[in-house]
Amino acid sequence: MCGIVGYTGKREAYPILLKGLKRLEYRGYDSSGIALQQDQHLQVYKKKGRVAELEELLLGKGLHAHIGIGHTRWATHGEPSDRNAHPHVSQSGKLAMIHNGIIENYAPIKQELVSKGYQFHSDTDTEVLLNFIEEIQTQNACSLEEALRIALKRVVGAYCILLIASDDPETIIAARKGSPLVIGIGKGEHFLASDASPIIEYTREVVYVNDYEIAIVKPDELILKNLGNEKQTPYITRLDMELSAIEKGGYEHFMLKEIMEQPETVFDGLRGRLLAAEGKIIMSGIEQHLPAFLSAPRIIIVACGTSWHAGLLAEYLIETFARIPVEVEYASEFRYRNPVIHPGDVIIAISQSGETADTLVALESAKAQGAFIFGVVNAVGSSIARLSDAGAYTHAGPEIGVASTKAFTGQVAVLTLMALKIGYAKGTLAEADYLNLLLELEQVPEKIREILSQSAHIQQVANKYKDATDFLFLGRGYNFPIALEGALKLKEISYIHAEGYPAAEMKHGPIALVDENLPVLFVATRDLYYDKVVSNVQEIKARKGKVIAIITKGDTILPEMANDVITIPEAHEAIAPILSVIPLQLLSYYTGLAKGYDVDKPRNLAKSVTVE
Ligand code: M6R
């Protein structure tokens, strides 16, 4: 949700900013821009559209500067346009600023500034904040840093901002609350960005800036202060990420690369944790807090989007194996409906990015009520990971495609391990079943590989149905969350209206939609519900709907009924969902591709939703 990048040092700033913006483009791609400072002068360039369009605009301009900031936008206040693109310049022309977040009380501040004669050239809250800072500096005759501090005490909302001034050839002033900021420490240079991807090829030493901190960044100096003007000690961490992980590696799209990586990423999530031959699961985060899980009257899972679907699946797994009641909450609803949290309740937060504002805010409020928070997070060092009392990383590696794929299977792998570990420790999961499930889990990476080898067939199915206007995804039991996830993937990537439903619930309403034009995808693997799902397939066929079925290898019944089938290897019904989701990811990828859409950057979306 907006990517920001900054540089101060001896190198040419522009190429660093441009490359950084390309890496951060997954966070927003409505418009982009840069501001460079040279010879007491700010040069600002911005353009509606992708970073490539900005690059084209700047081709041959011979931009030279050693300090600069860049931004790629996901629009909140004001439509995507050149004038609303960042950086914004203050009324005097002396300050340039970029912002990721939302200033909620911008309207009264804007009124105040307009009454003082300020004119605005965009519809953004960012321009308001920038002029507010300038006004405070003018009125108080204080430093820019001081003016920023005063302004931030008055604003409500979320922000990560970078600010440069025409009269300062060295300093970037940054601040964060609720939106991420990483500072890379080089030799006589500093790099600033929303995540580590623009930084990794220059340095591995980074500082994650905390909420309510201001950073004064010069080539040779990094000062961190809180809003009370007290110096804070920067905590330097080492990046554990390879450059290849954020490149396409020969694939046409990140989404395809990330789907294809899943045998390895799921393996990485299980590695060192699943010792099937020894009958053990090692998860230090759980072991250290086992009494909290064993005595929990209730587990509340908080997440958004695809991560919420992983949470829904975890409800089935935890209730089955550990017999602990589970509630799965949309983070955005949980926060504002004043939820009842009992002492002893355990909260599991699930997030790929670890920066999703809805989830973060929900957790902050639960934490303030004394809840114990266990994070299942992919992005190492992210805000949710740091806020959690304990957790387990999913180890899926950086996920760049806006549609979540490998992060989902990583989440499912970790949540399955958790459910089995807690269930076994609690005595609600019998040893023989536990050992069998461990062996099943160990085979998952190989089985995913087998499914991926059918991608050509799945592409054919996608091409056949690509012109459908609507799609229904149905599943029961463990396959219900997978039906929801399949529908979300298809919507995001192909813009086809798709709904996921419990297969049996279909007859209570959605069946009215069924006619010869409606493809209905059944996740119909061999499980407890199989015979009932077969009856649901018949109900669709009787109304001339087109049936696509995800079935278990060896099934001879559904191939006779369905228009198209995609098979997955045999697996225990609790393990099957991590497999049955793979064809749905490929189906949506190939449908989006066939329709000529940008599957890595679908319209209106952003990878990391850092506004509420
Ligand atoms: O980073 P998070 O897992 O917290 O993100 C949650 C959702 O925004 C995310 O899963 C979103 O729904 C994806 N676009 C799904 O593909």
Check if 187 is active-site: no
Distance CA 214, CA 232 (A): 9
Q: Give 49-83 pLDDT, tens digit per residue.
A: 999 999 999 999 989 999 999 999 988 888 889 99
Distance CA 605, CA 1 (A): 9
Query: Does residue 181 share a domain with residue 60?
Result: yes
Q: Span 489-501, mean pLDDT?
A: 97
Query: What pLDDT score does 518 carry?
Result: 94
Instruction: Pick left, alpha or beta for residue 28 (phi over 0 → left; psi -120 to 50 → alpha; otherwise beta).
Output: left
Q: Span 286-307, mean pLDDT?
A: 96
Query: Does residue 255 share a domain with residue 214?
Result: no
Distance CA 436, CA 413 (A): 16
Q: Does the pLDDT value for residue 609 go beyond 80? A: no
Query: Does residue 458 share a domain with residue 329?
Result: no
- In this structure, the residue with its CA closest to atom 7 of ligand 1 is 305
Domain-embedded: residue 384: yes
- In this structure, the residue with its CA closest to atom 4 of ligand 1 is 351
Q: Which of 245, 277, 310 is a domain's end point?
A: 245
Domain-embedded: residue 151: yes
Q: Give 430-451 pLDDT, tens digit per residue.
A: 999 999 999 999 999 999 999 9
Query: Does residue 332 share a domain with residue 191?
Result: no
Query: What pLDDT score does 324 carry?
Result: 97
Distance CA 505, CA 500 (A): 10
Q: Is the CB of 402 under 6 A from ligand 1?
A: yes
| pTM for this model (two decimals) | 0.83
Q: Is the CB of 610 under 6 A from ligand 1?
A: no
Count of beta carbons in the 10 Å neighbourhood of residue 538: 12
Domain-embedded: residue 38: yes
Distance CA 404, CA 307 (A): 9
Q: Span 41-56, mean pLDDT?
A: 96
Q: Give 562-592 pLDDT, tens digit per residue.
A: 999 999 999 999 999 999 999 999 999 999 9
Q: Is the CB of 490 under 6 A from ligand 1?
A: no
Query: Does residue 110 share a domain with residue 225?
Result: yes
Owning domain of residue 464 = 453-600
Query: Does residue 260 share a domain with residue 214?
Result: no
Give which of 100, 27, 12 is closest to 58, Cα–Cα. Answer: 12
Report the nearest atom of ligand 1 relative to the CA of 404.
16
Query: Does residue 213 share a domain with residue 261?
Result: no
CA of 542 to the centre of ligand 1 (A): 37
Q: Does the pLDDT value for residue 158 go beyond 90? A: no
Provide the pLDDT confidence category of residue 607 given band limits of 50, 70 and 90.
confident
Q: Is the model more confident about 1 or about 203?
A: 203
Query: What pLDDT score does 329 carry?
Result: 96
Domain-embedded: residue 609: no
Query: Does residue 73 share a domain with residue 145?
Result: yes
Output the CA–CA distances (angstroms, integers) from residue 167 to 9, 93, 178, 469, in the order listed: 16, 11, 29, 56
Check if 142 is active-site: no
Domain-embedded: residue 504: yes
Query: What pLDDT score does 604 carry?
Result: 85
Query: What pLDDT score does 337 carry?
Result: 84
Q: Does the pLDDT value for residue 261 go beyond 90? A: yes
CA of 401 to the centre of ligand 1 (A): 11
CA of 304 to the centre of ligand 1 (A): 6
Looking up residue 508, the CATH number of its domain turns out to be 3.40.50.10490
Distance CA 112, CA 154 (A): 13
CA of 264 to the centre of ligand 1 (A): 21
Output the CA–CA distances (angstroms, integers) from residue 54 to 34, 51, 86, 121, 126, in the order listed: 9, 5, 12, 20, 20
Ligand 1, pocket-test mutation among 179, 404, 492, most atoms within 8 A of CB: 404
Q: Span 102-129, mean pLDDT?
A: 95
Q: Give 518-543 pLDDT, tens digit per residue.
A: 999 999 999 988 999 999 999 999 99
Q: Give 354-403 pLDDT, tens digit per residue.
A: 999 899 999 998 988 889 999 999 998 889 999 999 999 999 998 999 99
Q: Is the CB of 18 under 6 A from ligand 1?
A: no
Query: What pLDDT score does 606 carry?
Result: 77
Distance CA 457, CA 451 (A): 10
Query: Does residue 252 share a domain with residue 240?
Result: no
Q: Which of 245, 280, 310 is a domain's end point?
A: 245
Q: Is the CB of 351 under 6 A from ligand 1?
A: yes
Query: Does residue 26 share a domain with residue 75?
Result: yes
Count of beta carbons in the 10 Å neighbourhood of residue 83: 16
Count of beta carbons in the 10 Å neighbourhood of residue 485: 31
Q: Is the CB of 492 under 6 A from ligand 1?
A: yes
Looking up residue 21, the CATH number of its domain turns out to be 3.60.20.10
Q: Does the pLDDT value for residue 91 go beyond 80? A: yes
Tokens 């018949």 belong to: 538
Q: Does the pLDDT value for residue 106 go beyond 90? A: yes
Domain-embedded: residue 611: no
CA of 302 to the centre of ligand 1 (A): 12
Query: Does residue 256 share a domain with residue 377?
Result: yes
Query: Does residue 325 share a domain with residue 352?
Result: yes
Query: What pLDDT score does 283 carry?
Result: 95
Q: Give how far the C-alpha of residue 85 lies from the chain's centroid of Cα atoms, to the nearest Å.
A: 23
- Sign, CA dihedral 523-527-531-532, equals negative
Distance CA 497, CA 549 (A): 19
Bond before 263 cis per omega within 30 degrees = no
% of the chain at pLDDT higher than 70: 100
Ligand 1, pocket-test mutation among 609, 610, 611, 612, most atoms within 8 A of CB: 609
Query: What pLDDT score does 250 carry?
Result: 84
Query: What pLDDT score does 74 carry?
Result: 85
Q: Span 82-91, mean pLDDT?
A: 96
Ligand 1, pocket-test mutation among 352, 409, 612, most atoms within 8 A of CB: 352
What is the chain's mean pLDDT, rounded? 94
Instruction: Count the domains in the chain.
Output: 3
Domain-embedded: residue 18: yes
Domain-embedded: residue 607: no
CA of 608 to the centre of ligand 1 (A): 7
| Inter-residue contact 206 to 185 (CB < 8 Å) | yes
% of the chain at pLDDT higher than 90: 85
Q: Give 207-253 pLDDT, tens digit per residue.
A: 999 999 999 999 999 999 999 999 999 999 998 877 777 888 889 99
| Inter-residue contact 168 to 38 (CB < 8 Å) | no
